[in-house]
Amino acid sequence: MTGKMKPDRIAIRSRIDSRHPTVTKSDRGQIPWFVRGELILNCNCTIFCPCVVSLGRHPPTEGYCQAWAGIRIDEGAYGNESLSGLNIGMVLEIPGIMARGNWKAGVFIDDRSSHRAYHGLTQILTGKAKGTTGLFKLLVSEFLGAERARVEFETEGPARRLRVGRRIQGEIVPIAGRDPSKDVVATNTKYWMGSDITVATATMGRVRAYGRVWDFDGRSAEICAIDWRGPER
């Protein structure tokens, strides 16, 4: 036999990458991002949520937490992709003390979002993008899903409204204080969402999503300016 013998090996093609074509190989906890805007939340607590001042160490008033939340993004970006002007709806279920984890969460992302923005927001809201929301990766044991939807976040006077079709229909207003011109605010807290939390109540709080049927009218609510970022805080 003449010539060099060919090595007894089979050529292996490059590894198949099944990710969306807009997702780069470094796209997990490496992309810089930020979100500024406002978050509203309504839960099943009968009085103001004790998690704000106890930092999740005190049980919810009912022993467990069920909540919906809305996020209005005034300014934001995931890498070079703008998130500004988008809205988000969330459903949260926590079996006991918040800090112990075992949360369940589902999200509705504004159907106006681009593919890249949708991907970025799912990374942020599952904690995979690290940073401020990185705790979700530690505390959420079951992610119920993420889906596109028409998410409407409205402000009219003191009232904030969130509507995600028939899945979430909510309206919250700040509670009345001694001085009616000023909101009742828990300030300078170490709460992960933000340091200043406006105490509110729900005039409507209905959830029909992910197999949950909840009505939290008249229950605890919160309003919070947010300034989240990652991957490092």
Q: What is the 3-state secondary structure (H, E, C) of 174-233?
A: ECCCCCCCCCCEECCCCCCCCCCEEEEEEEEEEEEECCEEEECCCCEEEEEEEEEEECCC
> In which band, very low, low, confident or very high, does the pLDDT at 5 lie, cut at 50, 70 and 90?
low
123-129 mean pLDDT = 96
User: Which one, of 111, 107, 45, 34, lies nearest residue 75 by Cα?
Assistant: 34
The model's pLDDT over 24-75, given as tens digits with 9 standing for 90+, comes to 444 667 899 999 999 999 999 998 888 888 777 888 899 999 999 999 999 9
pLDDT of residue 48: 87
Q: Greater confidence, 191 or 153?
A: 153
pLDDT cut 90: percent of the chain above it:
73
> Mean pLDDT score of the chain, rounded to an integer?
89
Residue 157 reports pLDDT greater than 50: yes
Q: Are 78 and 230 in contact (CB under 8 A)?
A: no
Coil, strand or helix at 140 = strand
Show me where the domains of the chain are located.
33-230
Residue 124 reports pLDDT greater than 90: yes
The model's pLDDT over 158-197, given as tens digits with 9 standing for 90+, comes to 999 999 999 999 999 999 999 988 999 999 988 888 999 9
